[in-house]
Amino acid sequence: MGLAQSCAVVDGVLIIKKESGWTSHDVVAKIRHLLGGVKVGHAGTLDPAATGVLPLLIGRGTRIAEYLVEWDKEYRAVLRLGETTDTQDATGAVLARSTTDSVTPEAIHEAAGRFRGSIEQMPPMYSAVKVGGVPLYRSARAGKTVARDARTIVIHALDIEAIQGRDVTLRAVCSKGTYIRTLCADIGDALGVGGHMLSLERTRVGPLTIAQALTVDEVVTRHALGRLGDDLLSLDRALGRLEIAVVDEQTADRVKHGAPVPDSKILRWEGSDEAKRGALRPVRIHSTDGCLVAIGTCSEASGGPLNVQKVLVDQDV
């Protein structure tokens, strides 16, 4: 089998529209069973009560998880002002209530504005962040509060879409590692009345949008009809934001065994940003027939080889 034929292997990214009540693990387990035990993973956990885009990685798709989790994410959230909960969302116990009569729309817009850009955010106790090897949520369930360090995150956009009484609908575009429920709680604190996240929908992960997403039931139906392959995003398309280094077939064969690519063996660059050339960043390695062979990284500012990080085709093809 040649490299061109190997591109037809059913591996890729399935964009799921997760419904409330499902854990991310539930979705993975369901799709894994549906596909007969094929390897399935996900890129970016959603809490059970949250809905929206959950990228599932199928087969060799699991090899590209580290690149997908770097993507920015977009959410639509409803912040309920005047109620603080122990989980910072609607699933927790209410710790305090405050009147919101004095909170004006202008104050809400001003408070939200303080959280745009690069900010420090404290991971919530009810999270999977580990301190001393123990997930914070385990300590929280035991009634303990653990000292933890704030993390730098980036809120690329934060818009107020609607204000209905004490409920504020937010649109947020943010970097990885952002907790939207913590953002909601922090805005409530900034307004002096407290608050929690009433609901959350993830509308986009990188280039993957909710308009492309399928519910689990829709996946089951399409699989039964033999049409699920049409909905699977290839690894190459999923990694479409990465530039391409094209190499000849002999070099591609060596790449499959992890050999680095000398600069002299790169036939051409596609989708290249000259201003970024030489930075240590991932790039796609293509054979001349357009097949994605591997992901590599540039090792030097100029003239250095591409070091292979992930081989995405079998060595014996």
Same domain assignment for residues 84 and 193 = yes
Single pTM value for the model: 0.88
Active site residue 47: yes
Same domain assignment for residues 198 and 225 = no
Query: In the chain, how many domains are there?
Result: 3
Same domain assignment for residues 93 and 167 = yes
| Domain of residue 231, CATH code | 3.30.2350.10
Inter-residue contact 306 to 283 (CB < 8 Å): yes
Same domain assignment for residues 89 and 16 = no
Same domain assignment for residues 97 and 107 = yes
pLDDT reported for residue 152: 96
Q: Tens-digit pLDDT profile for the chain (317 aa)? A: 334 334 433 789 999 999 999 999 999 999 999 999 899 999 988 999 999 999 999 999 999 999 988 899 999 999 999 999 999 999 999 999 999 999 999 999 999 999 999 999 998 888 777 888 888 878 888 888 888 889 999 999 999 999 999 999 999 999 999 999 999 999 999 999 999 999 999 999 999 999 999 999 999 999 999 999 899 999 999 998 899 999 999 999 999 999 999 989 999 999 865 545 555 789 999 999 999 999 998 765 555 788 999 999 876 54
For residue 214, tell me if it sits in a domain.
yes
Structural domain boundaries, residue 264: 242-311
For residue 3, tell me if it sits in a domain.
no
Active-site residue, from 47, 236, 263, 314: 47
Dump the DSSP string for 72-112. -EEEEEEEEETEEETTSBTTS-EEEE---TT--HHHHHHHH
pLDDT reported for residue 130: 83
Same domain assignment for residues 105 and 171 = yes
